Chain A
Amino acid sequence: MPAIKEEVKKRVGDIVTRLPPKLRRKTLPRLPELSEEEVVRHFTRLSQMNYGVDLGFYPLGSCTMKYNPKIADLLASGVAEIHPYQDESTVQGILEILYTLSNWLAEITGTHEVSLQPAAGAQGEFLGALIMRACHKFNGDIEKRTQLIVPDSAHGTNPASGTMAGFKIVVVPSDPNGCVDLKALKAAVSERTAGLMLTNPNTLGIFEEEIAEIAETVHDAGGLLYYDGANLNAILGKVRPGDMGFDIVHINIHKTFGTPHGGGGPGAGPIGACEELAKFLPVPCIGYDENHRRYFLDYDRPESIGKVKGFYGNIGVLIRAYAYILSLGAEGLEQAAEMSVLNANYLVKKLSSVRGFELPYAEGRPRKHECVLSAKTLYKENGVRAVDVAKRILDYGMHSPTTYFPLIVDEALMIEPTESVEKEELDRFVEVMKRISDEAYSNPDLVKKAPQNVAVTRLDEAKASHPKTMTLSWRMHQKRNVIKGAAP
């Protein structure tokens, strides 16, 4: 605590007695009382019980756990002490970075203009759905256009975001190839359709080949097409959502542009919009005044939907993406896409012959950046489920794939290797999967009791959520124990 001069103290007087007694805190909050070194040791020890990309293979499907460049972390600290309300003349550098980044993202996605404001993909989705709403309102259609269509393979955030924006969700099934069933889509659209939310490649890692027909169907019905950017990594520089007919696009900066996921966040979820919809983007956008050669925050957008959060976005994340794109350039981004796809298909080839696993949907068609295996047979023949396989993978020192998603695959294991992983590591993963298959057939209990070689064995998640045992804070724990009569 910086010491305060005695004469200042004397002059100001007792500050606390100026507070009305009823507004003073009587008892101090029960926070830890530790030395600096104890704090460092505690959290360093905790970090040792945590698995990150820097420790090894992290094929968590749909999350694009690629390498997070250290140079980006280092450069991000350059904005740490800038206040968002500083005079524009004092922030020209960071504004230029953000202006340039939003133009790059518009180029990458084939959209007209990009807002950097949303803090995460889900917030981008919410904003995107609000832009649909604003558009239909603008056209005097909102009373009628109340339905938002999502495929049954969609991320859970899609229907949740659509509902938040006031839409009713209509689910369309997938066809035998795991793609949107075009017939069902045609039957689902009507003058009540607000739009369709789609990710392409989809959550099975399959490219929606009929995207032209899908776009036409939705547009002909007067709906808008929303692109969920979770799988953008697969198509960088190859095909752009805007060119496929998508009107609104979100980008998961922390996935596609290599920024660290931070144990759950922060990320960033910029939104791109086509020319017709750009006027609805939130305020402020970053502008450039050519006459005065200066960057500025543009609030003069009368049709804007307003704001989805304070200030301008997760700048500390966005500046890392700027560094990432600078480092890779157009060629590097395209190569990232290609190699993420090659890696995924290499795994498809090697894993689909492992006993007990199969690759459902669209046999023989290439996957993009990820693939989804089913452990259905393994379960049927040995009682070993996808969750057991996932836990056993942890024992072998790797993170597991995403499990039980998408919902259209039984016993799903969703694997996204990304472009960052070297072939030897892919081979090791294949080896691990083979071994787990062998174990499942020879000693299924070993797999079902996994993990054993990590910080804790399998946790009781039901106990964590049951009203009688739920403990969501230390305070709750103590209250519960007092009720039980035990010592807190």
Chain B
Amino acid sequence: MSRRIPAFAQTVLAVAALVLVAAGLLLSPGDRQDGRTAVGERELVRISGPDGATVEAVAVLDSGATSSSIDESLAKELGFDLENAETVTVRSALGREERPVVTGGLQLAGRVSATRLTVNDREELDTKILVGRKDMSGLQLAVGKRLLTQPGEPRAPSALSSILAQSPALSAVGLLALLPLAALVIVLLRVVVGLGTLGTFSPVLLAVAYTQAGVVAGVILTVLLFALGFAAQPLLRQWRLPRVARLGVLVGMVAAMLIAIQELAGVQGAADTWGTALPVVITAVIVERLWESWDLDGARTALTEAGTTLAVALLVTAILLAPVVRSLAEAVPFHLAAACTIWAAVAGTYRGLRMTELVRFAPAARTREAV
């Protein structure tokens, strides 16, 4: 055992290094693209109406469409007069249709333009705005990528605004490359900080769901599902079901609730990615663990662990969506995955005290008396 650095200082140094790296990742600005700006299939845009009202939303970028279009309800919200607007005849796969046309401001990847927008019914679609090729000239469309820019500038949005946008921000390969990074974060939080969560890697799975479907709805949904599953536990115990059956019932309940919420939310056109994104089985397992913890160690421990699980999930979400991390995952996915795997092993060799142990063992450390 090394006696050169005091154990206390060793822990403080390790945690400080961890905080520094995390803060660096979270606060890093997006990298500026050289030459032509690349945009993904979905981007955050800002639309302004005739009297200055603006709306910021995720738009689908469709090079197969000539001009841009917006949803009828959104047009009304922005103050466009649809009754007296000129109309165009649109030919599409569905036949001919008369649609109103309005002129509004469109801000995409730092460029502002006044453009003609056709108004149609996009209520059933998950994006209220479609950007056609007329408004994409000079931009490079990166197929398979999403949220590479923000309305005001041609840089990726910060972790925070990506989190709040209700749209999948990561491609499949990018996500795969980020899993080892998320796992590394968990290793560090457990080995250096000493956090206890309900299930070792469950926060990572929650975080992946949050990156794909938006964090606000995600957290509300998770808390709702936790509460529902928890409330059902006494009943499941009363029936004296074995563990496997309890988990089976919980999986069914979580799935049923997701379907119900989706049907309700689908009417309002909210995100419908939840059904596939939220890890149903993991949520059920977390609920079961929550109950066990409550039963054995009391309400306070159980609630602390549930809160920690959610907080770690949010932290991991923020790190996964940080611009620097995202561009690494897109540019060098293999190297990122390999590096994180090696660092997870290196982090596992830390033998010092965990940060939480400085608090836990304070009584023993304070004792000087000999027995």
The answer to whether A and B belong to the same complex is: no
